Chain A
Amino acid sequence: MASNAAARDTDWEGVRLHIVTGKGGTGKTTVAAALALALADGGRRVLLAEVEGRQGICQAMDVAPLGPSERRIAHAAGGGEVYGLAVDAKAALMEYLQTFYKLGRAGGVLEKFGAVDFATTIAPGVRDVLLIGKVYEAVRRRRDPRAKDPKAPPAYDAVVLDAPPTGRIVRFLNVNHEVADLARVGPIRSQADSITKLLRSPRTVVHVVTLLEEMPVQETVDAVDELRVAHLPVGGVVVNQVRDQALPEPALSAAGRSASDHEAGAADLTRAGVKATDALVAGLLSEAADHAARVALERQEGETVDALERPTYRLPALPEGVDANSIRMLAQALAEQGMA
């Protein structure tokens, strides 16, 4: 069986649901896509899902827009497959009603009465319940829908969720817990309880994507705290867009300190065929000083990330932007570092 054949030594053995969050602009969709590809390596089936209706996955993976039904969007080595899904609250509600209650005509009446719209757009929270509910269903689904054996192979070896940003993540994941407080008994309660159980179990991890900048790191630290308080399992920290250091350390800190640097640099430039005006030399030195300041800041932020004591993965900056090919390269980098 594919899922057993591909067993390997990773930091997240046994995890079925990888939730990827991060401050807006840190590249969490890219990281989620790379992680899905890495997990699919070696013949596994992986579902990559988004819940915010942004169609970020299809843009990152360069495929047609995703819909509420799952579709294969990429192949990985060894027969691995990545499926894509844009979870839609309304479709999830209709499916839920049909599966659990066999509603038929009554479902249509709910729709006609505005109950469906109410649930998916106005009633705060219900939307999140439905979105996570669909992800939960995908995690639990069996390859053979009639299989009763709890050990029967799952439909997906892993599910990767491109989740809401750090500012909203705990509220989003904890929504079922809130619901459980409201519904003390009944079908909603048991559904909410099972989802909460999955989210808090070792089968789930929440990874946080960050950049080595102050605000994203601060949000990462806050999110890790909040996740812990909410009993949600904190996964790894992915440091995205790490720049290589173009200058050797001593040169960096020494650059531009004295007038002789200026003259010697000008002479070097002239030898290299560059017209070394004062403005150009001063400009290069000031760029180096800015760079040194940024490197120092990055180092400091890196220490803050290390202090979280979570498995940390680093992905290189891609100056030419991200496309489907570079995501494969990032997937490889994640696999090499043991994330998948």
Chain B
Amino acid sequence: MTSRRSNRSNSGATLDVDALIADPNTRIVVCCGAGGVGKTTTAAALGLRAAEQGRHVVVLTIDPARRLAQSLGLTSLDNTPRPVKGIDDTAGGSLDAMMLDMKRTFDEVVQAHSTPEKAEQILSNPFYQAVSSSFAGTQEYMAMEKLGQLRARADRDGSWDLIVVDTPPSRSALDFLDAPKRLGSFLDGRFIRVLTAPAKAGGRAYLKMFSAGVNLVTTTLTKVLGGQVLTDVQTFVAALDTMFGGFRQRAEQTYALLQAGGTAFLVVAAPEQDALREASYFLDRLAEERMPLAGVVINRMYRVTATGLSSGRALAAAEQLADEPTENATSTSPTTEGLLRLHAAHAEIASRHKTLATRFTAGQPGIPVVEVPAAAEDIHDVDGLRAIGVALAGG
């Protein structure tokens, strides 16, 4: 394939997506970025391209747009990877896709790590039901859990050699990376002892060690929450207590897996100030967490087809046609004037996008970037994804 230099960024390194997915050592690609920049589309397009080049890929999406999900064959939320139809498998690759169902993932964890009786008890606890199905925050923990599961299965039975993940639409950038740390600070903290103390055998003796503080905390919690709520919370935490450790262990393993070689993070952005600012923030966070960065994808770059005619010159020409004496004008003059004005408007946007992208690239020296042109229409089928894949590879 001939590569068009114009698709590549002027300054800084170019992100070589094909080299990334061709490298058998690449086992996990994580796409992260602000909402609305095309994260899921990028993940799906990348997965498809890798599969058509011979990789065995599973794409884990968190919350895809409905039609994109349908294009991947994800009509139901059954939390299981399903083969995507319509891919070119001549290179021997395969593509599965799945959509995360957080409640189901949580249920499965509970069932896998406790006795049937205890699982039953947890699953019917009202706190568990609320936490597992409707509360924000759970999604991040479950995305980590699912990624760990997919990787474990890939290692066990060789179903996949590449996992592409799109991250949850978290309120703050990389919440899911914080999941293990948060859980850890809770489990190692004193607060969990307050919550689990009454349920533990020999709790009283244990409590004496710091009873003054604990009493004050318990009294305050009772006052604030009400006795019944506190009891429910305590029952819930106590029931899950034995599982927390294993849960943390797996979250930590997944975290370590992300840091290790074999994982590549792609930061996805769009040529708008807000999205690029978020992208810079992601880059900082990833560096702080020592997560391996592959590069930045700037989606939705506006391009003009009639290159070589600047916005200013197009506008001047349009005005000249508009001011033409009537005897010179032709029947097509108004149309041509319109074409020029349209081009002027588009060229203006294209040049603003280019400026924003160039400034971003200059501010992030050494970070590989690839620019993906805006598609004329929304992407919702395998062909559309394939075209995005070509653009991702700089072609």
Q: Which residues of A contact B (CB under 8 A)?
A: 23-26, 29, 52-54, 56, 59, 97, 100-101, 103, 105-107, 109-110, 112-115, 117-118, 121-125, 127-128, 164-165, 167-168, 171-172, 174-175, 178-179, 181-189, 213-216, 218-219, 222, 243, 246-248, 251-252, 254-255, 261, 264-265, 267-269, 271-274, 279-280, 282-288, 290-291, 293-294, 297, 319-321
Complex Cα spacing A165 to B171, Å: 9
Note all chain B residues with C-beta closer than 8 A to A283.
304-307
The reply on B352 being an interface residue by CB < 8 A is yes
With A25-B36, A109-B220, A246-B338 known as contacts, the answer to whether A284 contacts B343 (CB < 8 A) is yes
Q: Is the CB of B224 within 8 A of A268?
A: no
- Chain B CB within 10 A, most for which of A182, A213, A255, A297: A182
Complex Cα spacing A29 to B338, Å: 33
Complex Cα spacing A188 to B330, Å: 76
Note all chain A residues with C-beta closer than 8 A to B220.
101, 103, 106-107, 109-110
The reply on B232 being an interface residue by CB < 8 A is yes
Note all chain A residues with C-beta closer than 8 A to B172.
52-54
With A52-B171, A113-B194, A115-B221 known as contacts, the answer to whether A287 contacts B343 (CB < 8 A) is yes
Note all chain A residues with C-beta closer than 8 A to B314.
274
Q: Is the CB of B191 within 8 A of A25?
A: no
> Could you mark each residue 330-348 of chain B with 1 if its beta carbon is under 8 Å from any beta carbon of chain A, else 0?
1111111111111101101
> Could you mark each residue 149-192 of chain B with 1 if its beta carbon is under 8 Å from any beta carbon of chain A, else 0?
00000000000000000000101100000100011011001110
Complex Cα spacing A174 to B133, Å: 13
Q: Is the CB of A118 within 8 A of B270?
A: no
The reply on B249 being an interface residue by CB < 8 A is no
From A114, A124, A185, A267, contact of B138 by CB (8 A):
A124
Residues of chain B in range 208-258 having any CB-CB distance to chain A below 8 Å: 213, 216-217, 219-221, 223-229, 232
Mark the stretch among B21-29, B72-80, B115-123, B373-381 that contacts chain A. B373-381
With A264-B330, A319-B349 known as contacts, the answer to whether A182 contacts B126 (CB < 8 A) is yes
- The minimal Cβ–Cβ distance linking B187 to chain A, given in whole angstroms, is 10
Q: Is the CB of B380 within 8 A of A183?
A: no
Complex Cα spacing A77 to B191, Å: 51
Closest to A291 in B: B342
With A113-B213, A287-B346 known as contacts, the answer to whether A24 contacts B306 (CB < 8 A) is no
Closest to A214 in B: B378
> Could you mark each residue 85-126 of chain B with 1 if its beta carbon is under 8 Å from any beta carbon of chain A, else 0?
000000000000000000000000000000000000000001
Q: Is the CB of B332 within 8 A of A261?
A: yes
Q: Is the CB of A188 within 8 A of B224?
A: yes
Closest to B35 in A: A24
Q: Is the CB of B136 within 8 A of A171?
A: yes
From B66, B186, B331, B378, contact of A213 by CB (8 A):
B378
Complex Cα spacing A269 to B334, Å: 11
From A54, A185, A252, A321, contact of B352 by CB (8 A):
A321
Note all chain B residues with C-beta closer than 8 A to A115.
191, 194, 217, 221
Q: Is the CB of A175 within 8 A of B352?
A: no
- The minimal Cβ–Cβ distance linking B209 to chain A, given in whole angstroms, is 13
With A268-B330, A297-B377 known as contacts, the answer to whether A246 contacts B277 (CB < 8 A) is no
Q: Which residues of B contact A (CB under 8 A)?
A: 34-37, 63, 65-68, 126-127, 130-131, 134-138, 169, 171-172, 178, 182-183, 185-186, 189-191, 194, 213, 216-217, 219-221, 223-229, 232, 270, 272-275, 277, 304-309, 313-314, 316-318, 320-321, 324, 328, 330-343, 345-346, 348-349, 352, 376-378, 380
Note all chain A residues with C-beta closer than 8 A to B376.
290, 293-294
Q: Is the CB of A284 within 8 A of B138?
A: no
Complex Cα spacing A98 to B163, Å: 48
- The minimal Cβ–Cβ distance linking A295 to chain B, given in whole angstroms, is 11
Note all chain B residues with C-beta closer than 8 A to A215.
65, 67-68, 378
From B217, B330, B336, B340, contact of A110 by CB (8 A):
B217
Complex Cα spacing A232 to B225, Å: 26
Complex Cα spacing A71 to B162, Å: 50
Q: Is the CB of B213 within 8 A of A293?
A: no
Complex Cα spacing A114 to B186, Å: 7
- The minimal Cβ–Cβ distance linking A233 to chain B, given in whole angstroms, is 20
Note all chain B residues with C-beta closer than 8 A to A290.
305, 376
Q: Is the CB of B217 within 8 A of A127?
A: no
Note all chain A residues with C-beta closer than 8 A to B270.
25
Note all chain B residues with C-beta closer than 8 A to A109.
213, 216-217, 220
Closest to B344 in A: A246
- The minimal Cβ–Cβ distance linking B331 to chain A, given in whole angstroms, is 8
Q: Is the CB of B137 within 8 A of A265?
A: no
From A267, A285, A287, contact of B330 by CB (8 A):
A267
Q: Is the CB of A218 within 8 A of B66?
A: yes
With A165-B35, A265-B332, A268-B333 known as contacts, the answer to whether A288 contacts B342 (CB < 8 A) is yes
Complex Cα spacing A100 to B220, Å: 12
Closest to B321 in A: A272
- The minimal Cβ–Cβ distance linking B327 to chain A, given in whole angstroms, is 12
- The minimal Cβ–Cβ distance linking B72 to chain A, given in whole angstroms, is 15
Q: Is the CB of A271 within 8 A of B186?
A: no
Q: Is the CB of B306 within 8 A of A168?
A: no
Note all chain A residues with C-beta closer than 8 A to B35.
23-25, 165, 167
- Chain A CB within 10 A, most for which of B65, B127, B171, B186: B171
Q: Is the CB of B131 within 8 A of A124?
A: yes
Complex Cα spacing A100 to B225, Å: 12
Note all chain B residues with C-beta closer than 8 A to A123.
137
With A101-B224, A103-B220, A168-B169 known as contacts, the answer to whether A186 contacts B229 (CB < 8 A) is yes
With A53-B171, A280-B306 known as contacts, the answer to whether A218 contacts B224 (CB < 8 A) is no
From A97, A114, A165, A222, contact of B185 by CB (8 A):
A114
With A114-B191, A271-B324 known as contacts, the answer to whether A101 contacts B305 (CB < 8 A) is no
- Chain B CB within 10 A, most for which of A112, A123, A124, A222: A124
- The minimal Cβ–Cβ distance linking A253 to chain B, given in whole angstroms, is 11
Complex Cα spacing A271 to B332, Å: 12
- The minimal Cβ–Cβ distance linking A99 to chain B, given in whole angstroms, is 12
Q: Is the CB of A218 within 8 A of B67?
A: yes
Complex Cα spacing A167 to B225, Å: 29
Complex Cα spacing A109 to B223, Å: 14
Q: Is the CB of A272 within 8 A of B309?
A: no
| The 10 residue pairs across chains A and B that have the minimum distance between CB atoms | A24-B35, A25-B36, A186-B226, A283-B306, A24-B36, A125-B135, A124-B135, A124-B137, A268-B336, A114-B189
Q: Is the CB of B221 within 8 A of A24?
A: no
Note all chain A residues with C-beta closer than 8 A to B183.
122
